[in-house]
A and B are shown apart, each in its own frame.
Chain A
Amino acid sequence: MSLPLELQTLRSRVGLVESRHLEVFRVEGVRAFEAVDAAFPQRVFLQDAQVTQTLLLADDATIVADVQVARDDEAFFLLCEVRPGLEAEALVRAHLGTDQVTVQPLAPTHAVWSVHGPWAWEFLGEAVGQEIIGQPYLSLQHVAGLTCFRGGKTGEFGYDLLIPHAEVEPTLARLREAGRHYELGPLSLEALDRAALENWFFSVRFEGLWPWSPIELQLQWRLWHHKHAYRGAAAIARKQAEGPRQRLTVLSAEAPMAVHAPVVLDRERIGEVLLSAPGSAGRGHLAWAMLDTPVAVAGLQVQVGEVSARTVSPPTMQNESLGIDPNKHSFRYGRRPQ
């Protein structure tokens, strides 16, 4: 299936993907909280079944992994997407930095399949269990022999299903059977990453490859500033004291903007394009640029090479999921939002 068709599936119906890019670990032991707390820059003092989004950093505060931390009773699940070329288990063990906990990679025993789209909640409610319909954002629950994490980085409803290998085929059969009523389509990692970009979610396979920290990438919400012992904390503190010299900003234009093209405001160079893509639903073009902080704001008319562009506040699209009320709406029964 082509990328535009996959994005259409993801933005208007339901898509299914095997998430091999998502490596899951379970951390257990009497010092599990202390180990996880020391590794991550985010608060991980979570209630049971609560999930938070954070990062793993290198010493220079560049990002090496995009991680969701989920508390499951006294243990933790770590859902990791690591920078290409790095090895997840070694990275997790190095950051946890203790032999007083057990770190169990779940790939040998489980697979992860993910469901994304504005109607993912209704589809999974039918295929897996009605409990999923009411599952809060950023939470987990054990249902029908699998573990369901609700999160997603596409702006639409998103669920990651951790499934024991023995249950994968029966589960997929249920998903495909129910999927006939929801025009279920396949998704690729490329589609997930594009959707994440469109919706101003971090992707370790795009922004994670750049030499910037969460400060320049506007990811400070994934840090907790009362923590100072995690790897990269010294570099974060130094950068925060200095203030960012540049900040990631989104540009919108009618024509494509070239990667590495200079961004010019009132005849002054203010930054450079890092990434360029067609706009959502094929409308216009977008670019992600690192701009000098004083002018890294929306609402400016700029020049990108020969192209006239405008800085904009992300996200640049309105997700269908925002208008859906599971108490009123249904894909299967034709009750769509107006």
Chain B
Amino acid sequence: MTPDTSAYLERRRQVLAEVRDILITRLKVERAPEHIDPDAYLFGTGLGLDSVDAVELVVALEQRLGLKLPEGARTLRSLRTVGTVIDQVLGVGETS
């Protein structure tokens, strides 16, 4: 594995840990971190969050990671799963 790949995987692992922690501590998702799958749906089906939770998730992520997500990243269209949230933070999203 190249150093670039290792660094990316470590960064992604860190953001996943932050997202899981926010889901559990702020949004009261009653699951252990490792029981929240990296590609679990956040809203409706899946973890069952709502649009108010989406706002809180974005605010908490920005506070913890010291970044500002682009406006387009704040919509339910961009925050569909744990993985798409991480994509927004890391700027690697891909949807059609």
Contact = CB atoms under 8 A, between A and B. Distances in A.
B9 A297 contact: yes
A130 interface: no
The 8 closest A-B pairs by CB, nearest first: A313-B83, A299-B92, A218-B37, A312-B94, A313-B84, A221-B46, A266-B1, A220-B35
B86 A298 contact: yes
Nearest to B80: A315
Contacts of B32: 225
Interface residues of A, number: 40
A221 B38 CA distance: 11
Contact of B39 (A200, A252, A295): A200
B35 A313 contact: no
Interface string A274-300: 000001110110000000001111111
A240 B34 contact: yes
B36 A300 contact: no
22 contacts: A137-B44, A138-B44, A200-B41, A218-B37, A220-B35, A221-B47, A223-B35, A266-B1, A280-B96, A297-B9, A299-B12, A299-B92, A313-B39, A313-B81, A313-B83, A313-B87, A313-B93, A315-B80, A316-B95, A322-B76, A322-B77, A323-B77
Contacts of B46: 221
A316 B83 contact: no
Give the interface residue-count category, chain B.
20 to 34
Contacts, number: 94
A236 to B, nearest CB: 10
Interface in B33-81: 34-41, 44-47, 76-77, 80-81
B96 A218 contact: no
* Main DSSP-derived SS at the A contact region: loop
Given A252-B94, A299-B12, A318-B96, 12 more contacts: A218-B40, A220-B37, A221-B36, A221-B37, A221-B46, A225-B32, A240-B35, A284-B96, A299-B90, A313-B81, A313-B83, A318-B95
Nearest to A216: B37
Given A283-B96, A318-B77, A322-B77, A313 B41 contact: no
A221 B83 CA distance: 14
Contacts of A138: 44-45
